[in-house]
Amino acid sequence: MRVVLDTGIFISAFLSTEGYPRKVVNLWLDKEFQLITSEWQIEEIKRVSQYDRLKERIVHRDIGFLINRLKRHAIVLKEIPNVDYSPDPDDNPILATALAGEAQYLVSGDKRDILDLEVVVGVRILTAREFVELFDMPEQ
């Protein structure tokens, strides 16, 4: 299964050791799915982690660990296409990553715009909770 995690999922996972974003990241670390990311997103993670409201709450070493892990254990796309699917243009690069990486799922906590799309060109957009629940379903 190929999955893209919105940058907010990574940031939320660092801010709290509890909760669904951390569970999603742990599923990736446990190799339950193939993570797709892009150089664009890696740069965004670095930038967002330096926001004043976050940089004192996130250990810089942890961001470095994440970036190194992404580069070694995720599929990192060098280029992503320009797309225009979201009402928020800032969401389009993460959608482009999912489309270019042929992801089945995009996991996001962005309740304002991206989650409202539900499906974009075959990519299902789920909350962290909905995604974790896929793994909790009994096998048939």
Residue pLDDT, tens place only, 104-115: 999 999 877 899
Per the CB < 8 A criterion, the answer to whether 86 and 113 are in contact is: yes
**Per-residue pLDDT band at 56 (split at 50, 70, 90):** confident
Q: In this model, does residue 126 exceed pLDDT 90?
A: yes
The two three-digit tokens of residue 14, written as one number: 């660092």
- For the whole model, what pTM was predicted? 0.91
Which runs of consecutive H residues, i.e. helices, occur in the chain? Answer: 7-15, 20-29, 39-48, 52-55, 60-73, 92-100, 114-117, 128-136
Domain-wise residue ranges, the chain: 2-136
Per the CB < 8 A criterion, the answer to whether 24 and 5 are in contact is: yes
Pick 2-136's CATH classification: 3.40.50.970, 3.40.50.1010, 3.40.50.720, 3.30.413.10.
3.40.50.1010
**Per-residue pLDDT band at 50 (split at 50, 70, 90):** confident
Q: Which H helix or E strand runs over 34?
A: strand 34-38
**CA distance linking residue 133 with residue 136, whole number of Å:** 5
Q: In this model, does residue 37 exceed pLDDT 80?
A: yes
